[in-house]
Structures are given as structure tokens and as C-alpha cells.
């Protein structure tokens, strides 16, 4: 809310009456039904000669805004259908897009056979879907036959987004998620960089991908139903043929390829060529449009290296590219669906509609990484934070660190038949077996099959972001199949294998030892002080094909250096101005006081009306503030601190610390028993004129749901009675970054968008001091992150923001300064960086704000 000044109590009452009338009108207003998709059957012609007729089962969602709007094609994952995308399609339509989702050939009720996103089949199908959209009156055109259109999808759907962008110049923006760059490399990975012909067969994922589950049953149609749908079945359900049982709904040539490589465990050049035809690696330089790549950290099918390869290839064309690493993936974990939707919709808002901030309404940057933000002190639940950098550094990072590892040469055996195998992860079940947040690991290295090399305990925390590298030597005879992995060992609990990821490699062993550089899987992980980094090289892995013949090799280190990439832009705390910026105004006040005592008059510190002219440019000074409860107990006790221009200050403290009482006094809602509060030199009392320079948000947002966001703000400002030109509406809206959402009904807003609108309302008139009391209450981490850039942008223009919050990880990333309260008293105040730096100097480690906060509260008890 925005506090009225002392002259306008009637205007505030009018605002409340309008709000009540709006709620009643909403209760009586006939609400239109949600956007519903229209099921359509779209015939297409595909195949190498373009002579194969396929019918695609699709659903079209017209834009809720009406008129002609940009279009979005939503593609499903492997084994899914259009039904999986209905909810997201409806949400995008509510956001003002024309949306078409469909079941790919061979899936759901679409006819045809699965061709793995081949340019001759699925890509041709999608190009004809673009033709279909170009004929719809609900779709905006850039030219005749050329709709404004984006494509989004995950896994199989992400690959078709990339491939269609390469073959159809009408695609304007894409958001591929957890997908591949080179399908051959995904199924035959090789950590030495020699390529799929030297790669190790990922047998379990390949079995899931190509087996009968993917071909028939996962498509939603059983084999008898497939037989009935076959033109040769005579229209009636018949017993499926042996070929249908063997191949399901795959094209025969794909089925044959899988059969061959599954039997031998080795890639053939023909298999690589076929798989790469369906991969972005086959179209270098042809994807030239804005691309947001979202990849999973818990993904042994398409690891982070695939998004990295796609990012480098697309960026080389000069196209805008952003990369986000979310916390989940094909192996489970938190898939962050709301955050992914908001980032996707925001990307399309920018590149299809031409509005919004870069990357969209959700927290965005050229590189975003989801990290464990610790526990919320209020709920004790784990939270995610999204760290952001302005530049994507690739998997080599910006500032690599080197850790020394050691260990003797060690013999390792490949057992007969490759059994029993070591375990890194079970494909598709890593979220269950790999633990919660990486705190538990199901990894198991069989005795006698693994060589172990380890570092000394770390003297300080180390944040690794990217793909580490290590040099080893392999002694023996013949070809060795090996699996390298990097563990986090605490010395007590079982060592953790981050995301259950391993690096497979084949190397020809020699008696003299064959040196090889191994690139370990890309990760984002904080290794705490006193932990050790453990490199393990094993001969077996449950998820991969290994030789049946028994063999013994010897593994040693070729170099003791373990190279660990970092991204300092992600790790750097947002400390704001240096300490002297904080201290200088305090020094100025001290000098002014000394001059007064010395009789150096001419600059009276207090005017007749009680105004401190020496503080006229200082947003807030609190001195000796005290407030008692009715029972005499102090809610606030001798509180003093100062806030200067350009700062984003976090007011922290556990429940009962006195934060809310302090903010109520700050806003003139209650009077202090002791001390004073001054805003720009004027004492704060209820109704003080200086409160017109303060904007606040102290409760959950309340708006008229049937009105647009813009209309809500205009009505509110009229109720204040102030001139329209004083609202600075456009400036506030630009900072809030709501874009085209302003002209949609508030009932269509997500919770995060409502919070942005509430903050925009508090910003009306561009108050010099913005006070937000627990603005993140009720929001999940992705929605909280939406507000971060808004608050920073507001303070960058010389204004000041005060945020009361208990989400410490978010405060650490958002605020430049912090005030910590406990039991009504000040515990600590100053820049966030200084607070963390002092703790680092005391402990010899790099703590998080949560750790420092808990220490401060404990010391103040």
C-alpha cells in the first residue's frame, strides 16, 4: 500500500470503498470459462519423398486476449502425447498466445511411426503445423504464410524445437529443455573426447529409449491397438505381428539399428550417422534465433554438456542465447515447473511480443543456476535460489581452481561378465536413489573394481561450476572400459556422488601406462570446508555395457592436479557499496556535531519545525527507538541504525525480534515510547507530510480481479487525490517489468505477477523510500526470485529499499546491507559483504548468511 499524507484521509476511505465494491462486482461478474483447447486432426505429408500421409492429433488454444496474437508450438517428451501439454497450453493462452500442441507421429493418437525427430519426418510435420498456424485468424503474421511463432518442449520436444528452428526460418524463438545436442554422444558418451565410435554404450537408457516401452506401451497404445490401426489389419483388431512386437511404433531402420548396437555394445558409423541426423550437431550455424536453453543438473541421459554444446553453436551465429541449469532432470529431483514456465513465457514475451525484461519476468540472466538455498528459518523447509551471472562461461568456468589429489597406483579388475557391477545411478530413478538435494548417495563401488585418489581436507569451501578434469594413467594390455567419478567425502557420512553422474571412457592400456585426460561430468556443487574431493575410477557401472571377458588393469595418476572450474560471477556476494560508503555519512554527522560544540554556528542543526537539516538527504535514521507491550516487556529496545541512498537493506530477525513493530513505527502507524525516527530529516509521527515520500507494501496484494493491472493502478492513484502526472506510472511499470501483462485481467496473473503489481503500486509516485514487509510470504522460490531484479533496479536510481524478510539466502543475493535484530535489540548492521567477510576471517571459511545469522542470534541470547 502507499500511505496517504495527512491531508487525504477521505481519499484513503474512498480507496477502501472502491476495493470493497470491486470485490462485490467480482463476485457477481460473470467470469469467462478458462481457455479450452479445440481438438483438431491435422493431415501432413512427410517421408524422404514427401509422399507419406500422417494424421497428427492436435489441440489448438486461442489467445484469451482475443485478436491476432503470437503463436507457440508446445512439444511433448518421449513416450508422451498432447495431453501432457494441455495445462501449459491453457496457461500460455491465458497469457495472450495462440497455442498449438500435438502428439508427434507414432505417439498418442497420431498415426505414423517414430523417426526420432528426423528432418524427413517429424521436422517436416512441424513445418506443416507452422503452415496451419499461418492460416488461423487468431495468429499474428510477420508476412504471408509466416506466423510469429516460438517452439518449446522438453527432452524429445526440446530436440524438435532445435531441429525445426534449423530447417524453418519462420521460427522466431525457442526454449528447448533437458534435451540433446548429439544423440549419438548421449547414447555412446566418451570422456576422452574421441567421440561416439570410442564411446561406452549407455545400455539402460538406450533400452528405455528404444525398447518396447518407448515404442508402444509408453505411447498410450498397446500392441493390439497398433495392429488394429495398421492399414493392413483390415480394420479389425488382430494379434500383432512379430515385427510389431519387436519394433513397436519405430521405423524399421531405427529398430534394426538399435538391435545391432544393443547386441555388440558398440556404435557403428551407420548408427552414428542416423542418430546425428536427428541432432543439432548435424546443422551447425543453422539455428540463428533467440534461444533459452534449460538443462537439468540431475540428468544422466542428456547431461549439462549437451546444453553447453548447443549454446556454443547457437551463440557462434550471433543469436541471443541464455542458459539455465535447473535442479532436476531425467533422473528426478525438483523439476521447478512453475519457474520453468515463467522463464519460458518470459522469453516469448520478450522475443515474440517484444515486451518485458530480457529473459522474462522470472529471475533471468545469460546464466542461471538453481542452488540449494539452505533451510527457511521459519518453516525449516529446503528452498531453492537462482544465482545469476551476466555471461555464460561454458563448462570451463571463469576462474578454475586446482586441488591436489594423491594415491598409489592401484590394480582394478573387470569381473567375468561384468557382474556384479558398481552403481552410479539407476536411469530414471536417480531422484529416488540419489538422495534429496544431493545429501544422500546410492553410489556403490564394488571392492577390487575401483581405484581411489583423494585430496587433503579443504581449508575453505569450494564452489565448483562446470566440468572438472583429471589426468590418469592406465597400465595393462588391451582395451579397458572405465568409469571416472568425483565424490564429495565428508569423512563421516557416506561420500556423495553429485547427481549420480559418471564419465565413461575407453582407453588402450599399455605396460608403460597410457596417459589420458578425463573430463568429469559438469556439476554445480559446494564442497564444504574439511571435506575431501575423491576421484574414483571403476571398471563397471550398472547403467553401461561393459566387456564380458575378465581382465586386470592398473590405474595411477598422470598428474596430481584436479582442475575444478568455477564461476565467480555466480559465487560473488552482492555486497553493494564499500564499507566507507556506509561509514562516510555517519562520519559527516559526527563532524557536524563537533562543529556545533565548538560554536561554529551558521549551520543550525534543527529548524523551528523540528526538522534536522543535516539529515535532509538521508532516507532514514532511527535513534534509540523503543516500544513496550502492554505488560511492560520491550518489543523494541534502544534500536539505532541509519540507511543511505542507493541501499537495499534487509531487516532480519527471528519471530518476535521486533521487525514488524519497527516497521509499523517507521510508517507512522504507531508511536514509539522512546527515541525517534527521521525520514529525510523530518520526525515521523502519524500523518506526517514526509510520509508522502515513502511507499510501502505491508500486506498481501489485493486487487480488483476483473480489471487489468493498469486499471487497478490507475484507480488506486485516483483515490489518493494526487495529480495524475505525479504518479510516474510508466516509470514504475518499467521498473516492475510486467510488460504486456498490464493489459490483462488480474485474475489471469500468477502469484509472482501479483506481487510485482503490488510492488508497482507501492512505487507509484516513485517514493524515495520503499518499505516492504515480508513481500515473499506465500511465494515459492521461483516467484520470490522474480522480485529480486525489481528491487535492485529501483535502488540503482538513488532511491532506497528496506525489506523485512526471513528468507536469508534471498536476502544475501538481493540486499547490499543488512540489519539483524533479536529480542528487540540491534545485533549487527552493515554491508552484507563485510558481515560475511568478518565471519570468514574468524572461521577461515566462506559462510552463508544463514550460518552467520544463526551465529549472531545464538551469541545474543
Three-class SS string for 796-827? HCCCEEEEECCCHHHHHHHCCEEEEEECCEEE
> Quick one: which of 456, 540, 468, 454 has its CA closest to 498?
468
> Quick one: which of 737, 745, 783, 712 has its CA closest to 94?
745
Through-space distance between the first and last CA atoms of the chain, rounded to whole angstroms: 35
The arithmetic mean of pLDDT across residues 267-281, rounded, is 97
- Residue 508 grid coordinates: 588402450
Dist. CA 687–CA 293, nearest whole Å: 51
Place of cell 531425467: 330
* Interstrand relation of 800-804 and 769-773 (parallel, antiparallel or unpaired): parallel
Same fold, 38-183+281-371 and 579-590+604-859: yes
Place of cell 564442497: 527
Return the domain boundaries, the chain: 38-183+281-371, 184-280, 401-571, 579-590+604-859
Dist. CA 579–CA 199, nearest whole Å: 54
Cβ atoms of 501 and 303 within 8 Å: the answer is yes
Predicted confidence at residue 572, as pLDDT, reads 35
Cβ atoms of 691 and 5 within 8 Å: the answer is yes
List b or e across 779-813, with b for residues whose CB sees 16 or more CB atoms inside 10 angstroms: bebbbbbbbbbbbbebbeeebbbbbbbbbbbbbbb
Q: Hey, which of 80-89, 348-357, 821-830 has the most confident mean pLDDT?
A: 80-89
Sheet hosting strand 817-822, strand order edge to edge = 694-697, 769-773, 800-804, 648-652, 817-822, 825-831
Q: Helix, strand, or coil here: 276?
A: helix
Q: Residue 745 — pLDDT band, cuts 50, 70, 90?
A: confident
- Residue 129 grid coordinates: 503445423
| pLDDT per position as a tens digit, 577-590 | 333 233 333 344 33
| pLDDT per position as a tens digit, 212-257 | 444 443 333 333 333 333 433 344 445 556 666 667 789 999 999 9
Place of cell 538422495: 435
Dist. CA 152–CA 512, nearest whole Å: 51
Residue 644 pLDDT greater than 60, yes or no: yes
Dist. CA 641–CA 626, nearest whole Å: 13
Topology given in CATH for the domain delimited by 401-571: Jelly Rolls (2.60.120)
How many residues belong to the chain? 861
Topology given in CATH for the domain delimited by 579-590+604-859: Rossmann fold (3.40.50)
Topology given in CATH for the domain delimited by 38-183+281-371: Rossmann fold (3.40.50)
| pLDDT per position as a tens digit, 533-548 | 999 999 999 999 999 9
Dist. CA 489–CA 859, nearest whole Å: 30
* Interstrand relation of 141-143 and 146-147 (parallel, antiparallel or unpaired): antiparallel
What DSSP character marks residue 700?
Answer: -
Predicted confidence at residue 838, as pLDDT, reads 62
Dist. CA 513–CA 553, nearest whole Å: 10
Q: In whole numbers, what is the pLDDT of the chain averaged over residues?
A: 81
| pLDDT per position as a tens digit, 455-505 | 999 999 999 999 999 999 999 999 999 999 999 998 777 899 999 999 999
- Residue 746 grid coordinates: 488480474
**Between helices 729-736 and 751-763, what is the axis angle to 10°?**
140
- Residue 483 grid coordinates: 568409469
Amino acid at each position: 500500500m502507499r500511505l496517504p499524507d495527512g491531508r487525504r484521509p477521505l481519499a484513503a476511505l474512498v480507496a477502501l470503498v472502491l476495493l470493497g465494491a470491486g470485490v462485490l462486482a467480482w463476485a457477481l461478474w460473470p467470469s469467462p470459462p478458462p481457455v479450452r483447447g479445440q481438438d483438431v486432426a491435422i493431415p501432413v505429408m512427410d517421408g524422404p519423398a514427401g509422399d507419406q500421409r500422417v494424421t497428427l492429433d492436435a489441440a489448438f488454444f486461442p489467445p484469451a486476449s482475443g485478436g491476432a496474437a503470437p503463436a507457440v508450438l508446445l512439444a511433448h517428451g518421449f513416450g508422451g502425447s498432447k495431453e501432457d501439454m494441455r495445462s501449459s497450453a491453457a496457461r500460455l493462452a491465458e497469457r495472450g498466445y495462440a497455442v498449438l500442441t500435438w502428439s508427434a507421429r507414432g505417439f498418442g493418437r497420431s498415426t505414423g511411426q517414430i523417426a526420432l525427430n528426423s528432418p524427413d519426418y517429424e521436422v517436416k510435420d512441424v513445418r506443416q503445423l507452422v503452415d496451419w498456424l499461418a492460416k488461423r485468424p487468431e495468429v499474428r503474421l510477420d508476412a504471408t504464410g509466416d506466423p510469429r511463432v516460438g517452439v518449446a518442449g522438453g527432452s524429445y520436444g526440446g530436440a524438435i524445437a532445435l531441429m525445426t528452428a534449423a530447417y524453418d526460418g519462420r521460427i522466431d524463438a525457442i526454449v528447448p529443455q533437458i534435451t540433446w545436442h548429439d544423440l549419438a554422444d548421449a547414447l555412446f558418451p566418451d570422456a576422452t573426447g574421441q567421440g561416439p565410435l570410442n564411446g561406452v554404450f549407455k545400455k539402460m537408457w538406450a533400452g528405455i529409449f528404444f525398447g518396447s516401452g518407448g515404442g508402444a506401451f509408453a505411447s498410450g497404445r498397446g500392441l493390439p491397438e497398433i495392429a488394429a490401426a495398421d492399414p493392413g489389419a483390415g480394420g479389425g483388431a488382430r494379434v500383432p505381428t512379430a515385427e510389431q512386437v519387436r519394433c513397436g511404433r519405430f521405423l524399421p531402420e531405427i529398430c534394426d539399428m538399435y538391435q545391432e548396437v544393443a547386441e555388440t555394445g558398440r556404435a557403428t558409423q551407420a548408427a552414428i550417422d542416423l542418430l546425428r541426423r536427428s541432432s543439432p550437431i548435424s546443422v551447425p550455424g543453422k539455428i540463428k534465433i533467440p534461444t533459452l536453453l534449460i538443462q537439468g543438473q540431475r540428468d544422466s541421459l542428456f547431461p549439462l554438456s549437451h546444453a553447453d554444446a548447443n549454446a556454443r553453436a547457437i551463440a557462434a551465429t550471433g543469436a541471443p542465447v541464455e542458459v539455465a541449469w535447473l535442479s532436476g532432470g531425467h533422473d528426478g529431483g525438483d523439476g521447478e515447473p512453475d519457474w520453468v514456465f515463467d522463464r519460458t513465457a518470459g522469453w516469448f514475451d520478450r522475443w515474440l511480443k517484444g515486451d518485458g525484461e530480457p529473459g522474462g519476468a522470472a529471475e533471468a540472466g545469460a546464466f542461471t543456476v538453481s542452488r540449494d538455498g539452505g533451510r527457511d528459518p521459519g518453516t525449516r523447509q529446503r528452498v531453492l535460489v537462482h544465482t545469476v551471472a551476466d555471461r555464460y562461461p561454458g563448462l570451463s568456468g571463469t576462474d578454475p581452481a586446482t586441488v591436489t589429489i594423491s594415491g598409489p597406483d592401484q590394480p582394478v579388475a573387470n569381473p567375468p561378465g561384468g557382474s556384479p557391477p558398481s552403481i552410479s545411478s539407476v536411469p530414471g530413478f536417480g531422484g529416488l536413489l540419489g538422495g534429496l538435494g544431493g545429501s544422500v548417495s546410492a553410489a556403490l563401488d564394488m571392492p577390487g573394481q575401483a581405484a581411489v585418489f583423494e585430496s587433503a581436507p579443504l581449508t575453505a569451501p569450494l564452489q565448483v561450476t562446470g566440468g572438472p578434469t583429471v589426468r590418469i594413467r592406465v597400465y595393462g594390455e588391451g582395451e579397458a572400459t572405465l568409469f571416472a567419478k568425483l565424490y564429495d567425502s565428508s569423512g563421516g557420512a557416506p561420500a556423495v556422488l553429485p547427481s549420480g553422474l559418471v564419465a565413461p571412457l575407453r582407453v588402450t592400456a599399455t605396460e608403460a601406462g597410457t596417459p589420458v585426460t578425463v573430463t568429469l561430468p559438469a556439476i554445480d556443487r559446494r564442497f564444504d570446508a574439511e571435506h575431501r574431493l575423491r576421484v574414483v575410477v571403476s571398471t563397471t557401472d550398472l547403467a553401461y555395457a561393459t566387456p564380458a571377458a575378465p581382465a586386470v588393469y592398473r590405474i595411477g595418476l598422470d598428474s596430481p592436479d584436479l582442475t575444478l572450474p568455477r564461476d565467480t560471477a555466480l559465487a560473488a556476494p552482492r555486497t553493494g557499496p564499500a564499507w566507507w560508503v556506509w561509514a562516510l555519512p555517519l562520519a559527516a554527522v559526527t563532524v557536524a556535531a563537533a562543529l556545533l560544540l565548538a560554536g561554529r554556528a551558521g549551520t543550525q542543526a534543527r529548524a523551528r519545525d523540528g526538522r534536522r537539516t543535516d539529515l535532509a538527504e538521508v532516507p532514514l535514521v532511527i535513534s534509540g527507538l523503543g516500544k513496550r507491550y502492554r505488560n511492560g516487556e520491550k518489543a523494541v529496545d534502544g534500536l539505532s541504525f541509519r540507511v543511505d541512498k542507493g541501499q537495499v537493506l534487509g531487516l532480519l530477525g527471528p519471530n518476535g525480534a521486533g521487525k514488524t513493530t519497527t516497521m509499523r513505527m517507521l510508517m507512522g502507524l504507531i508511536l514509539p515510547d522512546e527515541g525517534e525516527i527521521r525520514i529525510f530529516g523530518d520526525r515521523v509521527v502519524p500523518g506526517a507530510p514526509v510520509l508522502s515520500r515513502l511507499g510501502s507494501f505491508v500486506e498481501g496484494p489485493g486487487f480488483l480481479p476483473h480489471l487489468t493491472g493498469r486499471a487497478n493502478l490507475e484507480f488506486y492513484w485516483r483515490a489518493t487525490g494526487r495529480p495524475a502526472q505525479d504518479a510516474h506510472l510508466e516509470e514504475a511499470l518499467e521498473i516492475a517489468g510486467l510488460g504486456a501483462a498490464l493489459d490483462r485481467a488480474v485474475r489471469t496473473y500468477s502469484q509472482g505477477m501479483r506481487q510485482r503489481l503490488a510492488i508497482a503500486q507501492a512505487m507509484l509516485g516513485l517514493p524515495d523510500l520503499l518499505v516492504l514487509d515480508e513481500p515473499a510470504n506465500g511465494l515459492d522460490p521461483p516467484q520470490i526470485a522474480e522480485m529480486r531484479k525489481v528491487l535492485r533496479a529501483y535502488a540503482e536510481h538513488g532511491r532506497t529499499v528496506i525489506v523485512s524478510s526471513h528468507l536469508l539466502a534471498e536476502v544475501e543475493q538481493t540486499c547490499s546491507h543488512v540489519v539483524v535484530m533479536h529480542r528487540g535489540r540491534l545485533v549487527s548492521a552493515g554491508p552484507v559483504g563485510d558481515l560475511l567477510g568478518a565471519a570468514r576471517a574468524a572461521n577461515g571459511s566462506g559462510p552463508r548468511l544463514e550460518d552467520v545469522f544463526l551465529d549472531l542470534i545464538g551469541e545474543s541470547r
